Amino acid sequence: MLIDFNNLNINNLSFQTDFDYKIRNFLDEWFSDENVVKVQTSGSTGVPKIFEIEKNKMVNSAVMTCNFLGLKEGNKALLCLPVDYISGKMMVVRSIERKLKLIVTEPSLKPLEYVSEEVDFCAMTPLQVGNSLDKLHLIKNLIIGGATVSENLKDKIFHTEMLSHTSNHIFETYGMSETLSHIALKQLMPQPEDYFTAFENVSVTTDERGCLKIFAPNVNAEVLQTNDLVEIKNEKQFKFLGRIDNVINSGGAKIFPEILEALVKKEIPNEAVFVGIEDESLGQKLILIIEGEASADFTERILKIPFEKNFHKPKEIIFIGKIPRTPNGKVNRIELHKIIAEG
């Protein structure tokens, strides 16, 4: 389905699938007299919840993204994310605000499978990108969010783009439901960057724990306190280190699992997650969970990784058939911890 927001007539659109009708329901909600819309959180860091967001704040967020990427009226965008969550809703709002032509495709792990035309803008999860490498050249501006982009996937993107000889722009996003999708982007292609850069009218600092504080008055009147440990470069740029609630305390040493996972994912293509399991002597024992069948080759590669500290090496490596995920594709660390703790 194609929705041209420069010439919109909802009654003339052909809604056929359940996903089409979810978009229809959101459009009805958006163009209603209500000043707010309902948004569901992913539940990746706790219990999923539904909260209301002011429409004008969503428009402000859409403007920041569109301006940053230079999107213009009549450009084509591709929607392949669920509209239950802020990520999908914001793709629609950006299309409305900038009067884009929105191509709608059912959310799946292979969103570009039936796409053959170039599009100016698309948002995907890392899982979707990993299954769409052969067609990334069709997207002029791609933003990747919902989960951290692994080092392994970054390498695949780099080699794919180099072979296709395109000059497309690919970014990793930083944000959450409370920031109305993202408030900062980090370029992966054509010039890889180490730090996220916040949008105009967004500034960042840290609290006494080293966790990120966000001031983005255009999308939220309050200073947002996160549990994300970061390295601040200046008031506009920061590097994500990991979530403080994921920190593993083993033998008195604090271990950031996300940093170790990035190292492991340079060596193996499978999903890999570090967790801390209760241990009498260490407090928490560092365990590495790998998705897929047991592999002596993977184990050998991991044990050869030159970890910065000796205690960064996993005490145990466990292979699991399927790592639990939230409905929008994020690793569900809480559920995974339960599964491992229960044996």
pLDDT the model gives residue 70? 95
Instruction: Tell me the average pLDDT across 260-289.
Output: 90
**Domain extents in the chain:** 2-200, 247-341
Q: Is 339's pLDDT higher than 80?
A: yes
Residues in the chain, how many?
Answer: 343
- Contact between 217 and 123 under an 8 Å Cβ cutoff? The reply is no
Listed in order, strand segments (DSSP E) in 177-312 are 181-189, 196-198, 203-206, 211-215, 224-234, 237-243, 248-250, 253-255, 272-279, 283-291
Give the per-residue pLDDT at 330: 77
Structure tokens at 239: 């590097």
Q: What is the pLDDT of residues 112-147, one digit of tens each?
A: 999 999 999 999 998 899 999 999 999 999 999 988
Instruction: Report the relative pairing of strands 2-4 and 36-40 from DSSP bridges.
Output: unpaired
Q: Tell me if 2-200 shares its fold with 247-341.
A: no
> Which pLDDT score is estimated for 46?
54
Identify the pLDDT of residue 62: 95
- CATH no., domain 2-200: 3.40.50.12780
Q: Please name the helix (run of DSSP H) or strand (run of DSSP E) that holds residue 294, with its range, or none.
A: none
Structure-model confidence comparison of residues 12 and 79, the more confident one: 79
Backbone angles phi, psi at 144, to 5 degrees: -115, 125
The DSSP element (H or E) to which 104 belongs, if any, is strand 101-104
Q: Which of 322, 323, 302 is CA-nearest to residue 314?
A: 302
Cα–Cα dist 228/206, whole Å: 9
pLDDT score of 48:
63
Indicate the range of 26-30, 250-254, 327-331 predicted with least confidence: 327-331
Calculate the average pLDDT of the chain.
Answer: 90
Q: What is the pLDDT of residue 43?
A: 54
- Condensed to tens digits (0 to 9), the pLDDT of residues 162-211 reads 777 777 999 999 988 778 889 999 999 999 999 999 998 899 999 999 99
What's the pTM value of the predicted model, to 2 decimals? 0.79
C-alpha dihedral sign at 253, 269, 272, 84: positive
Query: From the centroid of its chain, how far is CA 218?
Result: 21
What is the tens place of the pLDDT at every residue in 7-57? 888 877 888 889 989 999 999 999 999 999 988 766 555 566 788 889 999
Other beta carbons within 10 angstroms of residue 278's beta carbon come to 9
210: left (phi over 0), alpha (psi -120 to 50) or beta: left
Task: Give me the residue label for tokens 């492991």.
Answer: 264
Whole-angstrom Cα distance, residue 44 to residue 326? Answer: 6
pLDDT band at 149 (very low <50, low <70, confident <90, very high): confident
Q: What are the backbone dihedrals phi and psi of residue 35, each rounded to the nearest 5 degrees, phi first?
A: -90, -5
At 138 the pLDDT is 95
Q: Give me the pLDDT at residue 47, please.
A: 61
225 pLDDT more than 90:
yes
Q: Does 151 have pLDDT greater than 90? A: no
Residue 42 confidence (pLDDT): 61
What would the CATH number be for the domain defined by 247-341?
3.30.300.30
In angstroms, rounded to a whole number, what is the distance separating the alpha carbons of residues 172 and 176? 13
